[in-house]
């Protein structure tokens, strides 16, 4: 379970708690000199994720990615590549109060500009650079394995669509 972003809390006051909300989000894959990726252990669930969060109204995904990385880790980054846009059942988050939000995540790769790595303590309790095999030994959030595969493959990826138009007789 996670703490709910302020923007989502305001929406919940308008629509109630029963509806599954869809919201844009971002995640950042910061690479170190060895090619490892920075993962963060979330305070609420203890699961490992890429730093990131909700895109605020009228904010670009790129700005949200840089802002979220700074707020959560103390690191200022330069975005270097779009890894992909991800969504689906693995991106549904259930909050402490039972509300659910389905996130569509724009994931960027990044390089460090400057900063001192420190978890914010509110959302993240630990930060660690890991290889793909090291990540496999950690308790990951459901969405992270697919994203890490895309990060470490080096290409821009997306799931092939499964939707097909209804057949007409």
> What per-residue confidence (pLDDT) applies to 63?
97
pLDDT tens digit sequence for 24-58: 999 999 999 999 999 999 988 889 999 999 999 99
DSSP category for residue 89: G
Give kind and range of the element (H or E) at residue 126.
strand 124-130
Distances in Å between the Cα of 43 and the Cα atoms of 66, 104, 123, 161 are 21, 22, 5, 34
Whether the Cβ atoms of residue 143 and residue 70 lie closer than 8 Å to each other: no
> What per-residue confidence (pLDDT) applies to 1?
47
> CA dihedral in degrees (72, 73, 75, 76; nearest 10)?
-10
> What per-residue confidence (pLDDT) applies to 29?
98
> What per-residue confidence (pLDDT) applies to 24?
96
Q: How far apart are CA 33 and CA 97, in angstroms?
A: 40
Residue 130, beta-bridge partner list: 37
Task: Kindly give the parts of the chain with pLDDT less than 50.
Answer: 1
> What per-residue confidence (pLDDT) applies to 70?
97
> What per-residue confidence (pLDDT) applies to 18?
77
């Amino acid at each position: 379970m996670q703490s709910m972003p302020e923007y989502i809390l305001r929406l919940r006051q308008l629509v109630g708690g029963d509806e599954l909300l869809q919201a844009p989000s971002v995640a950042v894959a910061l690479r170190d000199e060895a090619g490892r990726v920075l993962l963060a252990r979330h305070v609420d669930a203890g699961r490992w994720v890429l730093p990131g969060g909700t895109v605020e109204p009228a904010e670009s995904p790129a700005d949200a990615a840089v802002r979220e990385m700074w707020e959560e880790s103390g690191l200022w980054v330069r975005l270097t590549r779009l890894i992909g846009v991800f969504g689906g059942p693995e991106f549904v988050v259930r909050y402490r109060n039972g509300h659910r939000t389905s996130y569509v995540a724009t994931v960027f790769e990044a390089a460090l500009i400057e900063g001192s790595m420190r978890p914010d303590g509110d959302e993240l309790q630990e930060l660690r650079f890991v290889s793909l095999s090291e990540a496999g030994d950690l308790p990951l959030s459901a969405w992270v394995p697919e994203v890490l595969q895309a990060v470490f493959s080096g290409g821009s990826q997306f799931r092939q669509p499964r939707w097909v138009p209804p057949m007409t007789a």
